[in-house]
Chains A and B, each alone.
Chain A
Amino acid sequence: MPAAQPHVPAAQPHVPAARPGSGPMTPPFRRVLVANRGEIALRIIRACHEMGMEAVAVYSDADAAAAHVRAADAAVRLGPPPPAESYLRIDAVIEAALASGSEAVHPGYGFLSEREAFARAVEEAGLAWVGPPPDVIATLGDKLAARRTARAVGVPHVPGTLEPAPVDRPGEVDAVVAAAREVGFPLLVKAAAGGGGRGMRRVVSEDELPAALLAGSREAASAFGDGAVYLEREIMPARHVEVQLLGDAAGDVVAIGERDCSMQRRHQKLIEEAPAPGLTETERRRLHAMAVRMGSAAGLRNAATCEFLYDGDGAFWFLEVNTRLQVEHPVTELVAGMDIVQEQLRLAAGRPLSARARAAADRAARPTSHAIELRISAEDPARVFAPTPGRITRWRMPSGPGVRVDTAVEAGDRVPPHYDPLIAKLIVHAEDRAAAIARLRRAVAEAEVGGIQTTLPFHRAMLGEPGFVDATSLATTWVDAHWDGARARAAAVRTAALAAGLAALAGDRASESGSAPRGPGTAEAGQPADPPPAWRTDGRALAADRWPA
C-alpha cells in the first residue's frame, strides 16, 4: 500500500519567525515530524508552534480526523489502525518524514520512542532524533544492560538476574528455576524492552514460573517486538520515585527534580506528583546524584528518566531508565518552571542546556511548589480497570487557576480500541501539596465525561483517601490491595437510579414524536423514533378502570 502520501493541506500555515543567524531564540528546526498520536502528539505540536516551527503529524485510519492531525501543518497516513501496521512501522514513518521535508523526528512516548532501530533509522536518513542517541537507548533502554551499568557505577539496583531468561529453550527450565530461588519469591518477570507493566508477571511460587515466563514473553513480544524477559525481586512496600534527566551534546547531564509515581495499579501509573513528598534535601541530593551518575555513565543526551524504588528503610534501588519523554513530564515542568519538550527540541539541534534548565537543576533539591497529575483513562475502575473504548458523548474538562489539561479528545470522538487508554492528563500546580490536593478536588468536580467510563471516580475517591492526602500510604501496591471499585460505586448507582426514575416520573420519555429532548453529541442515537410506549396509555386505562367516572 502507498505508505507515505503527504496529505492534508496546510489549513493554517505556520509561518516560522524570521531566522537571522542562530541565537538561542532561533527555532532549532524548520519542520518537525511527530511520530505519535493522542495527547502527546498534540503536546509536541504545540511546542513546535510556540517555537515558530512547523509540525507534521502521522496517523492511522482510526485517527484520520484526530486532534493531532488537525493541529499539525501537514499529516501523513501510515496505514490501518493496528499499531503494527501504522505507528510501529519504522519504514513508513521515515518515509513520511522525508516526504514532508521534516528536519527532525520527535517520537513522544510509547510506540517507537524507545526503539534503538528507529532512532538509528532516523539519524541514517539525515534527520535529527529528538531523544537520547541510539546507543544510549541500547544500553539504558534495555533494562538488563541498564542494570549492568548501575552495578558498574555503584548505583544499587533491585536484586535479580542480569541476563535474559531462556524462554524458548525448554531444556533450560531448571536453570531459570534455580535463578528464581536465588532471587526469592514473590518475584517479577519483567520484559527487558518493557515499560508500563507490559510483559510483567508476578510470580509467587516455582510452579507458576514457566507459565509466567511464557505469558510475559508473549506479551512483551506483542508490545515491543522483543520477547526477552528477566527476573527481579519484588520490593514491598515501596514507593516509585523517578528523576528527570536532561543532557546536552557536551556531555553535561543534570537532574531537574524527582517525581513520585507510587499510585499505580498493576504497574500502570495512575497519579504522579512532583516533588516526591517527605524527602529531605539530603535525600533529594543523593537521589539526583545517583540518577546523574547513571546518565553520565551511559553518555546520555536529550531527556530521560531514571526510576528508583524507595523502600520503607529510606533506601533507593535503581529500577530502570526510560530513554524518552515521560507521560508525567508536566508535573516536573510546572515545579521546575520550564518546558521540557522545547528543551528537548533545542538539545536535539545540538544546543547546550539552557540557562533555564541549569537554574531548575540548581533549585531541584529545594522545591518551592507542588504539582500533581491524574491520568484520566478509558478504563472502568469498578471492573478491574478493563478498557472502555467507545464514543465520548460529553466532554468538559476543568479550568481555572493552576489547572492544566493535556488531552486530544472531545465530545463526539471515538476512543479507538487499538491504543493506550490514556485520554487526558489533569495536572494542577499550587504552592504546596495540600493546596494542590484541594485544587484537584475542585478540578475533578468540574470534569464531566459521558459515553464512556473513565478513571475519574477512582481519582475522586483517592482525593478523599486519608492515606493519600497525608502521603502515608504512598506505595506501588496500595491500589491493588485497597481499591474496591464496586464499593466506591454503590452510592453513585443509587443516586443514578433515583435520578433516572424521578426524571421518568416527571415525564421524560424516550423520543415519541422525534421532538423529545436529546443531549448533545448523541450521534449514534439517530434511530427512527419509537411509537409511544403502550404502557402509558395502559396505565391511564387502568386508573380509569379503578375510578369509573
Chain B
Amino acid sequence: MSPRPHLPPTMIAGPTGADERAAGAGMDPRAVRVGVAPPTRLEGDPAFSLAPPPDPALLLAGDADTATDLPLVDGIPADVRLHRFDEVRGRVEQVEGGIVKRTDVLFGPPRPDRQRGAEVREVVVDGWRIEVEVEPERRALLRERARRSAGAASRGGPLEVRAIIPGRVVVVSVRAGDAVEAGQQILVVEAMKMQNELRAPREGIVERVGVAVGDTIEIGDLLVVIH
C-alpha cells in the first residue's frame, strides 16, 4: 500500500472558494468529520476527517498510486477497522508498528443534533464515555469557513460561564458590574453533598448573573456573563 497522502482536506478547501460546490469539489462525498461533542469535549480533544477507502472505479488515471483498501484519516491511510458484534458492541483493531491493538467499544444509538446538522452518539472506550459528533466533511468545511469570516467580529465578546455540573447554588460571590480576575470565585455549587467552587475563567466585568442562591442548576445552564 502507499503511504502517500490522498487529497488532504486542507488542500481541497481553497481559502478563497466562495461557492458551496467548490468547497466539496474533489473530495470523497462520503467523507465525515469526527470530533468530540460539547457535553464531553475537553480542550485539546482531536477532530479529524475520515473517508472510506477510495473507490477504485472512481479514481482518475493519475490517482493510481493512491489506491488503498484502508480508510483515510485526514487523507492518510490508517490501518484501523471496526468489527461490529451487534448494534451496541464493537471492537476496533488498530495496527501500530506491526502490533495489533484491539479495543472493545460500546455504542449508544446515533441521534441527530439538529442545531449543528451533525449526528452525535455515545461511545464508551475503556470506561471513558465519549460523545462523538459525526458530520459530513463538506458541511464541516463550510461551517468552518463561515466561522472564520465571522470570527473577527466576535473576538473579545462576552464570555458565558455555563454549569458543568448539576447541583444547587449555595453562594453567589459576584454581582452585575463587579470586576473579576481570572480564577476568582464566582459561585459555590453544592452537588452530591460536596461544595464546588466555580471560578472566573478570565478577567472582566460581570455583565449578568443568571442564578441566585438556592437555585437548582443543570449542566449547560447559563450562570454568569463576563464582558
Binding site for B on A (CB under 8 A): 83, 198, 215, 218-219, 222-223, 378, 382-383, 386-389, 393-394, 417-421, 444, 447-454, 456-457, 459-460, 486, 489, 491-506, 508-511, 516-520, 522, 525, 527, 530, 533, 535, 538-540, 542-543, 545-547
Contact = CB atoms under 8 A, between A and B. Distances in A.
Given A417-B167, A489-B128, A539-B136, A501 B34 contact: yes
Contacts of B107: 499-500, 503, 508, 519
A381 to B, nearest CB: 9
Contact of A535 (B51, B117, B124): B117
- Greatest chain B CB density within 10 A among A386, A457, A511 is at A386
B164 interface: yes
Interface string B27-40: 00110101110001
Majority SS at the chain B contact face: strand
Contacts of A492: 125-128, 130
Interface string B175-217: 0000000000000001111111000000000000000000000
A493 to B, nearest CB: 6
B147 interface: no
A547 B26 CA distance: 11
Interface of B: 21, 24-25, 29-30, 32, 34-36, 40, 42, 44-48, 50-52, 58, 71, 73, 78, 80-82, 84, 87-88, 90, 92, 94, 103, 105-112, 114, 117, 119, 121-130, 132, 134, 136, 138-139, 164-167, 170, 190-196
A291 to B, nearest CB: 28
Nearest to B101: A495
A539 B130 CA distance: 27
Given A394-B88, A502-B71, A542-B29, A198 B128 contact: no
Given A448-B106, A502-B71, A502-B82, A497 B164 contact: no
Given A500-B34, A502-B81, A522-B108, A387 B192 contact: yes
A503 to B, nearest CB: 6
A535 B105 contact: no
Contact of A382 (B84, B111, B128): B128
A533 B112 contact: yes
Contacts of B36: 493, 496-497
Given A495-B126, A517-B87, 18 more contacts: A222-B170, A444-B127, A450-B108, A452-B129, A492-B128, A493-B125, A495-B92, A495-B105, A497-B46, A498-B73, A499-B82, A500-B123, A500-B134, A504-B110, A522-B108, A530-B114, A542-B21, A546-B25
